[in-house]
Chains A and B, each alone.
Chain A
Amino acid sequence: MNPLVAAKRALGIGLALLSWQALAWSRVVPADYFPGLPAIAAAEWSSLRSGGFLANFGTTTVRAVGGLAIAILIGLCLAIVTGRYRLVRRMLGPFVDMLRVLPPPAIVPISIFVLGIGNQLFMFIIAFASLWPIYINAANALAVAEPVQMMTARCFGYSDWEILVRVRLPAALPEIMTGIRIGTGVALLATIAAEMLAGQSGLGFLLYDAAFSLRTPEMFAIMATIGALGLLLNALVRQASRIVAGWHIAMTALASPA
């Protein structure tokens, strides 16, 4: 990495940490509720050493990834079908628009009734929430049919399905991966939300518990952990994007959307 970029990054983060500590020292807010960095670090350290914390970290990660996997599977299959049959896409349009505005936390109460509070609940909520960005991006990408590519494919005698899978699907990859990246963020959000509202395990539950029992250093430590998990998942997906769609981006020299 360019040393100048690294320096700027370090400077930014350093300044942020310093301001936090300064705020903590100034006691503008009671120390009980705004712990300094050492207290938070200590809380994080003792949490990490307790086996329970790592288990909860694992639970949250497994749930998020599991739900995301289901969402990717369903979302891509659905998008492929819609890519092939334009009528299906028009048909599903308003329905998808309605379902995707539902805030994941809002469907937790009703889902508890139908699914109880076991792992089915989490899988459903996480998959439901992350499905939409994935499906919408994939469907949008597959709706485009680049004329030159289409004509070339027809010259080769490809059937409609073959065109879809061999030509349009690869062309849609960058946008699909963007959708998956957004979906990953949503999956983590939905996992934490569900754990806060209905969980007895996982980072969301730990956060809720620490917050409402006013164990603030622990609370901030857990928040930092959740943020770190988000960063990690994001980085993983970005890497996967590069592997799966890197050739495409390089060839078309498109800046990938943020």
Chain B
Amino acid sequence: MVGFLVRRLLSTVLVLIGVSILVFLIMQLVPGDPVRSMLGQAATAERVTEVRHQLGLDRPLIVQYLDWILGVLHGDLGQSLTLSQPVSSILFPKLGNTMILAGGSLLICLVIGVPLGMVAARRQYSVVDRGSMFVALGGASVPVYWAGLVIINIFALKLGWFPTSGMYDTRNPGGFEDVLVHLVLPSVAAAVVPTAVVARMARGSMVEALHADHVQMLRASGVPERLVIWKHTLRNILPPVVNIVGLQAGYLLGGVIFVEVVFNWPGLGGQLYTSITAGDMPMIQAGVLFIALVFVVVNLVTDVAVALLDPRTRKEA
């Protein structure tokens, strides 16, 4: 187990370095000049050059990259080009907000997706099975930016049960409850695709598990059905389900961008989108790095959990 962890950590570091280099290179190709965008319509070429020099953007690429890496290792993520603020002061709160949203979605995904999949598997090929899988599939096939608005229209405007957007009340920003009530609609919207994926996977694994030989044998030897399901098959479907849930967590980190835009949730996805189009290098670098970091950590935790749950994979590792 220790060897496994060490090897994974090492490859994690390598992957992160790779990620940062890849982002750096890609962003050099983004057309447009962040300094021009920063100075707006009235910028003259002279002023643009001056500001570019002040920001160190006229240095060779390799110097800029190394300078940035050194900064990161010292905890300094640099200054955002377009927001005139230290990157860390924008990044961490927004990363936190995205994780809250992703967390809420993941919770919905687990609480609804797994039982749904299991029930569908128990009643394989029935109306319940086909119906629920179709609904799950349908949810995943709808463009979120449209469905989100419809959800807002119904639940926030017409019924007034929830706020229309944002993370806090505007006039009286509150604490935990305020965030919770604002979290409901966006996390439901964000959860639709992962729930569909998890439900289908859970169903598939459950079907396999229910028909597995040793389960048939247990049934044949008179073990009550309830026990068969809860004690035996559940344990068997946990590894693939945990795996897929871990993958969904990763997907959510990036996939929530549409939800963040429609519901005005102040998360990193929305921020990265703006930064990418504005060419705000320091912001993009740091943002992507941290998303990759969280993603990789989640994968690591998932893999460890799967390894713990399923002795077979441990042998391969």
Verify that A and B bind, or say they do not. no
The interface of chain B, by Cβ under 8 A from chain A, is none
